Structure 1
């Protein structure tokens, strides 16, 4: 029998293990900063254009549906291809996926900033979404593979989640400042120097990761195409109800097409040799439950940021920068909530934090829906409407979201094998974006219908009523998430899963 080779492994092999014997390897801080910065940039672009929409509308003469598609083109491409992006990180390597995503995202931002009209801008936003779909799962996969010790991974995921929350929250602030002082095109141009810096840093600091064997290195393009097309059809049908009504053939045709395409996606996944989403994965109780929770949380959160950005400008009469600054208290509340949950999750487990966070958010949304009763209000532009109807409930809604963000991500990735890290991160990111796209389409359409039905002659009051009704329905999503979190396993079960 051949004796074991006593010589130490070569440097490349020693370096491949990021955390030997519980000690973090050199460069882990740099990798965490790179991953968090990339995730910040991706999530920032979900919300940064919201405040700029009135300025974009004024220059490019877009309809209300066109304004929604500036948001939804990004969100849909992002959501529909996140699963493919997650598998790409597993199959072709995290480093290659990261670099590809950053490059596509940066170039699309540059093109979108120079867009002379709505069609090219919407197309550039869609390509941004494609780049983000490859990049976002790579950031979480990079963290999961770099930080293998549970406590270190929890801290890293807490930082990643807080930065992600901050990206969505401060997007309105940054978008307002850029729109006010530099023009709306800079909400896209701002990504170019960030992307260039990430490319340079990743080339130096991010190590090459093992890829799947050549026989398994296949991406499920039919699955990605059907799920993306199906979601696009559903959102398109929801948006079309604003002009055609729910009973129109155009609307129902979109719904039927979307349903059939999603059914085809399930059929494809059950038959192909290397599916985008192995259906057996969805039978895991914790993973499936966490993704359902994220779906509802995303629907409520995305709609809130979008509706409030319009409320601040169209009802309270604030400028773009004033609307952005109005988001600051909520932005801080999300970060505080994420940090608190990071410190508590090791003692409590995810379930109680999600239940508590979503209950707080539900109370905030219900209270926030009273902006419909407050209406425009005389002197609302001076700040009276904001202080009396928005500030406190907005902080409650965002604090609860921050408390839930870290634990729901932890629940979705607990017990995940290294080979499935990209899939798990792609699923949780995809659920958040899918929920956001569908929720945004449904609730903005509901708000428009409510506003049109009132037609009282007071535009500000009618708009406020529509936004208030939509926010009340959003509270149902967070309430369902609070109840659904009770189905998650307790702390002992999660601890056992973490060690297996």
Structure 2
């Protein structure tokens, strides 16, 4: 039965894009929450408040998208939404840090380096989910509506799990490389005849190395996620060919005229 649901090209396209989008979005929350707490030093409660704009933005964009869906084809709403989301992840991939021995550290600020892209990501997700959900169940009969919804939710969860696993692998690879290179550079810089650093200074430097290495891995994960979502943009624009007039007629029951 699920294979019959996927046989339609428009629905299959929606399912594929709906798998790519959570793949990057779930990873964004994972890496960004760790960055805000472990690098910026926010408490868990303050971190939760830092993500509140995302909730407001996605509700606003979903409301706008639900009103536009009767006048704009889904491919353009989903295409714009995924393009915005990919741009937000690209913005996260530009988190600033320096690795010079005398100026080692991450120099990101929540208001300038995170908040604008959190809002952009929320708007992109709100614009994306409404048209993809509607096209995923477009043309599905009443008998198969539960299966269609189940396949859609399954694709979201599979995409989120695979995306987090993939981007975590990317992040760990680049974090490990950066930590090793920074450790070697600091060891070479400290191999002179000067006084040996104190234990407190060593702990401080070690903490800065960990922050920079984590940021290096997270930024590469964000960049990879941006590429995944932009791939979804391309797929949506090229293959999500259902018209908004067709979606508007999905809920209309046929009217039988008496002879």
Q: Tell me the TM-score normalised to structure 1 length.
A: 0.42
Match of 2:206 in 1: none
Change (3 A) 1:348 1:459: same
1:466 aligned to 2:198?
A: no
Q: Distance in 2 between matches of 1:392 and 1:495?
A: 34
Q: Distance in 2 between matches of 1:495 and 1:439?
A: 33
Match of 1:252 in 2: none
CA offsets 1:430-472 (integer angstroms, 9 cap, x no match):
1111000000011012111111111125111111111010000
1:395 aligned to 2:147?
A: no
Q: Distance in 2 between matches of 1:342 and 1:434?
A: 26
Out of 28, 52, 58, the position equivalent to 1:328 is 52
1:421 aligned to 2:165?
A: no
Q: Distance in 2 between matches of 1:289 and 1:498?
A: 21
1:337 aligned to 2:90?
A: no
Change (3 A) 1:316 1:475: same
Residues 270-285 of structure 1: pairs in structure 2 closer than 5 A: 275=1, 277=2, 279-285=3-9
1:475 aligned to 2:198?
A: no
Out of 236, 240, 244, the position equivalent to 1:491 is 244
1:316 aligned to 2:68?
A: no
Aligned residues: 220
1:374 aligned to 2:97?
A: yes
Q: Distance in 1 between matches of 2:97 and 2:129?
A: 30
CA contact (8 A) 1:379 1:385 kept: no
Q: What secondary structure sits across from 2:174 in the alignment? A: helix
Q: Distance in 1 between matches of 2:77 and 2:8?
A: 21
Change (3 A) 1:375 1:341: farther
- Unaligned 5+ segments in structure 2 are 184-208, 255-259
Change (3 A) 1:314 1:322: same
Match of 2:85 in 1: 361
Residues 79-228 of structure 1: pairs in structure 2 closer than 5 A: none
CA contact (8 A) 1:375 1:460 kept: no
1:280 Cα deviation from its structure 2 partner: 2.7
1:296 Cα deviation from its structure 2 partner: 0.4
Q: Distance in 2 between matches of 1:319 and 1:415?
A: 47
Q: Distance in 1 between matches of 2:72 and 2:251?
A: 14
Out of 164, 167, 170, the position equivalent to 1:446 is 170
Q: Distance in 2 between matches of 1:375 and 1:386?
A: 17
Residues 224-263 of structure 1: pairs in structure 2 closer than 5 A: none
Structure of greater relative contact order (alpha carbons < 8 Å, 6+ residues apart)? 2
CA offsets 1:64-105 (integer angstroms, 9 cap, x no match):
xxxxxxxxxxxxxxxxxxxxxxxxxxxxxxxxxxxxxxxxxx
- Unaligned 5+ segments in structure 1 are 1-274
CA contact (8 A) 1:374 1:385 kept: no
Change (3 A) 1:375 1:412: farther
Q: What secondary structure sits across from 1:484 in the alignment? A: helix
CA contact (8 A) 2:20 2:228 kept: yes
Match of 2:22 in 1: 298
1:386 aligned to 2:137?
A: no
Q: What secondary structure sits across from 1:348 in the alignment? A: coil
Residues 41-56 of structure 1: pairs in structure 2 closer than 5 A: none
CA offsets 1:376-404 (integer angstroms, 9 cap, x no match):
98696xxx621232111221122101111
Q: Distance in 2 between matches of 1:329 and 1:429?
A: 25
Tell me which stretches of 4 or more aligned residues in structure 1 moved more than 6 Å: 375-379
CA offsets 1:343-385 (integer angstroms, 9 cap, x no match):
11111132211011111111111111112x33698696xxx62
Match of 2:195 in 1: none
Q: What secondary structure sits across from 1:347 in the alignment? A: coil
